[in-house]
Copies of this chain bind each other. A is one copy, B any other.
């Protein structure tokens, strides 16, 4: 029952264990830098709103034109979406006129695991 060789790779195999949990032991400098980069990606109100709009979109993906009304200019939106892409939180794909963003699966769960309490 515990055989996992038939599991599709879209479930648990995508969770990247980048670092040990925050509360388990001293973080190495390298791990701290890696983790800080992930949190930094979400440490901005505009990026948070953009991400939540993509994540909560019905089809799991959203066109930039559907989410870009967050109170800043269009270049700024593009700048923040690039940051979220570089952090591995979002991926983008151009289809015709529009560019669609979707949440990169697993990354959010991996971050949550870093904050999990030790037990």
User: Chain A interface (Cβ within 8 Å of chain B)?
Assistant: 22-27, 29, 32-33, 35-36, 39-40, 42-49, 51-53, 55-56, 71, 103, 108-109, 111-112, 115-118
Contacts and interface: CB of A to CB of B under 8 A. Distances in A.
Contacts of A117: 108-109
B45 A29 contact: yes
Contact of A39 (B43, B46, B116): B43
B22 A48 contact: yes
A37 to B, nearest CB: 8
Given A108-B117, A112-B116, A115-B112, A49 B32 contact: yes
23 contacts: A23-B103, A23-B108, A26-B52, A26-B53, A26-B56, A27-B48, A27-B49, A29-B45, A29-B49, A32-B45, A35-B42, A35-B45, A35-B48, A36-B42, A39-B39, A39-B40, A39-B48, A40-B40, A40-B44, A43-B43, A108-B115, A111-B115, A112-B112
